[in-house]
Structure 1
Amino acid sequence: MPKKDQLYALIRSNPFISQQDLGAHLGLSRSAVANYIATLVRERRILGRAYVLPDHRPVVCIGAANLDRKLRSIGALVLGTSNPARQSESFGGVARNIAENLARLGAPTGLITAVGPDASGRALLAHADEAGIDTRGVLLVEGAASGTYTAVLDQDGEMRVALADMAINEALTPAFFASRAPQRAGAALIVADLNLPHDAVAALLGDALAGGVPMVAVAVSEPKIERLPRDLRGLRLLILNLGELAARAGHAMDTDAAIADACGALQQDGAQDVIVTRGALGVMLTTPDGLRSLPAPKADVVDVTGAGDAFAAAVCWSLYSGEASLEVACRRGLELSTMTIGCAQTVCPQLAPGLFDSPASLLD
């Protein structure tokens, strides 16, 4: 086999292999390796830095990764007093949850987040690696605690209150993202949650506008909607719920006309499309013909934690695969959200590549 093809085979097996290691494997000098790589770039067999292969460009998820604690009331939840409860722990964070869903659906996936040098951080990274998520872009913040999210659920599995310690994500600054520019430039899709600082979201949008890598933003809470810049040029899609839409608009969303107007305003700000999730009422999405509503399938509620992230992941998987309309993407999102609501885990264990190829899909 010619040296160039041997080198290409090594890159396919490890897209992050160094030029030094390539030279050692093949008995070539660094300059010879560099010449072969330049030839492969000209031939479009690789896409430049980090040796990104055209058929292996990942979805890069950017934002929070944390330890989730769930406290579920055994009986009716009574405020202002102690309630008997059961506790469980799992891995969470909007960006991390979306990344795990995507990886389990078979999409090449990377995660850019911040963790501390503690047991939680080590466990988060180990679990992500096991799920097939590329964690080489993760920032280790010395002296900081990894993020935590504590949710209080009622006896029916509905979340009543949640407390999040996400201070570590303030380290995800525009300067840090500049150091991860090659990884982001090699992505097929960027998915960012609004646990990021405002300036970081603005910087990612600017890069998306300039670089052509489509970006999806996922809101995480009403208070953090203020982290979404006014200028949304470069944003392929914004996913948010009704409360977050109201917080952005500054008034209640009590009619379909109000929702349509608020989505239109987001598009005027630069977003190409908007999806508004409404829990059991389903979703609304922008189309060339106006706002369209899709009902939610009936669900047996076990635990709602992670359902919104599952919805976002299925939508992003559809955008990544490139063969589905936004409506079909939303139907897939509703399917995966329903599966997640029906299980106790934050990421449904039944996820597998080919899930949406099933004839029993809810897409019909």
Structure 2
Amino acid sequence: MSEHSKKQQLLELIRANPFISQQDLAASLGLSRSAVAGYIAGLIRERKLLGRAYVLPDRRPVTCIGAANLDRKLRSLAGIAMHTSNPAIQSESFGGVARNIAENLARMGTPAALLTATGKDSSGAALLAHAKSLGIDLGGTLQLPDLASGTYTAVLDQDGEMVVALADMALYDRLDRAFVDSCQARLATSALVVADLNLPLDTVDAVIAGARRAEVPLVLVAVSEPKMARLPRDLSGVRLLILNRGELAARVGRELSSETELDAAVAEVRAQGARDLIVTRGADGVLFTRGGTGEDRIVRLYAPGTDVVDVTGAGDAFAAAVCWSLVHDGEDLELACRRGLKLSALTLGVTETVHPRLGPDTLTNMNLQD
């Protein structure tokens, strides 16, 4: 049997049981234990195995770091009148940017891990049970007995557009630099890391540094204009930053009233170290950078038309589709953005924060031309 054939058989045995011992591998292959150890060392050097527990590259998770909340939506039954009572209907669902992205990915068949914090309360227990039922890895999640689980309350008008949102997310300050350091082995063996800016500034900085050291692609997702203050000045090691026009304006500290000013702001942030940016623009679609430098490297895509039922979660669906595409199809950001726009449109058409009927073929079967 050739050396290549032995390695292939070894990989198949490990694929079937990632915790198989070297002695059992040796017995199955008719080799000495030392020979098996040598083959495993070679496979690790070739990045076909990722070390302890024989983690296989094609099963590496996308690790999502950030918020996992209980979302409450109050939708007005008529035009909203300020400073008085308005008739409305209420719904509750699971949310949080990192959690929403992880759920989208899990429903589309991509291994996902979630590093977050919850209280030791009924909301936290429900959040974790739901994520576990989807197959999301929760091994790194903190449960904090002295704080309530995060909540996000959105007030929507009768057309489903957000009027205001209120967030109680103090517990994510506990996801500090020490927490990131304790999760480095998980981050280093991820296919991709995606972090939201509900994390403290020092934590985001630690995530960037860890991804840079491990050479793992990192996607940062902005969550609001005020929380742009949590984005470090040095973005070296960031594969992709996803944000909207208002968040970009907050980053550069000035209004962006023209397309020329918008493009200049994109170039300025890229000069801070981020390899690429995607700027989401609601119904106007997105713009993204395509490597290189200069205005000619900024590409604009229009959003497909859709009937809006509920805007909550549409941006997270976009980010999840982009991450899915980067993991499965490589560096084509245009393809990633087209998929993101389509998944966002699908999510706008349902009341749920994450579309409940996603599957492994959702993105590959999409018609991306209309």
Of 200, 207, 211, which aligns to 1:208? 211
Match of 1:106 in 2: 109
Match of 2:368 in 1: 362
Please give the alpha-carbon distance, in whole angstroms, between the structure 2 residues aligned to 1:272 and 1:362.
Answer: 25
Match of 1:95 in 2: 98
Return the offset for 1:153. Answer: 0.4
Cα distance 1:24–1:127, how it changes in 2: closer, same or farther (>3 A)?
Answer: farther
- Normalising by structure 2, we get a TM-score of 0.89
Of 242, 248, 252, which aligns to 1:249? 252
Of 288, 299, 308, which aligns to 1:301? 308
Please give the alpha-carbon distance, in whole angstroms, between the structure 1 residues aligned to 2:212 and 2:117.
Answer: 25
The reply to whether residue 286 of structure 1 matches residue 289 of structure 2 is yes
Of 140, 153, 156, which aligns to 2:156? 153
Cα distance 1:147–1:37, how it changes in 2: closer, same or farther (>3 A)?
Answer: farther
Moved >4 Å (runs of 4+): 4-11, 22-26, 32-39
Cα distance 1:317–1:84, how it changes in 2: closer, same or farther (>3 A)?
Answer: same
Equivalent position amino acid for 2:311 in 1 = V
> 1:296-350 CA distances to partner (integer Å, 9 max, x unpaired)?
1111010000000000000111111134610111010000000000000000112
Return the offset for 1:39. Answer: 4.8
Cα distance 1:119–1:60, how it changes in 2: closer, same or farther (>3 A)?
Answer: same
Match of 1:190 in 2: 193
- Normalising by structure 1, we get a TM-score of 0.90
Structure 2: state its 5+ residue gaps: 1-6
Structure 1: state its 5+ residue gaps: none
Q: Which moved more, 1:228-237 or 1:124-133?
A: 124-133
> 1:49-91 CA distances to partner (integer Å, 9 max, x unpaired)?
3532122111101000010000001111111011111110000
RMSD, matched Cα: 2.5
Return the offset for 1:12. Answer: 3.6
Equivalent position amino acid for 2:367 in 1 = S
Cα distance 1:151–1:11, how it changes in 2: closer, same or farther (>3 A)?
Answer: farther
Please give the alpha-carbon distance, in whole angstroms, between the structure 1 residues aligned to 2:36 and 2:65.
Answer: 33
Please give the alpha-carbon distance, in whole angstroms, between the structure 1 residues aligned to 2:35 and 2:223.
Answer: 46
Equivalent position amino acid for 2:102 in 1 = A
Please give the alpha-carbon distance, in whole angstroms, between the structure 2 residues aligned to 1:140 and 1:35.
Answer: 44
Give the conservation status (yes or no) of the 8 Å contact 1:49–1:182.
no
Please give the alpha-carbon distance, in whole angstroms, between the structure 1 residues aligned to 2:167 and 2:266.
Answer: 28
Identity percentage over the alignment? 58
Q: Secondary structure at the match of 2:250?
A: helix
1:115-154 to 2 correspondences below 5 Å:
115-154=118-157
Return the offset for 1:226. Answer: 0.5
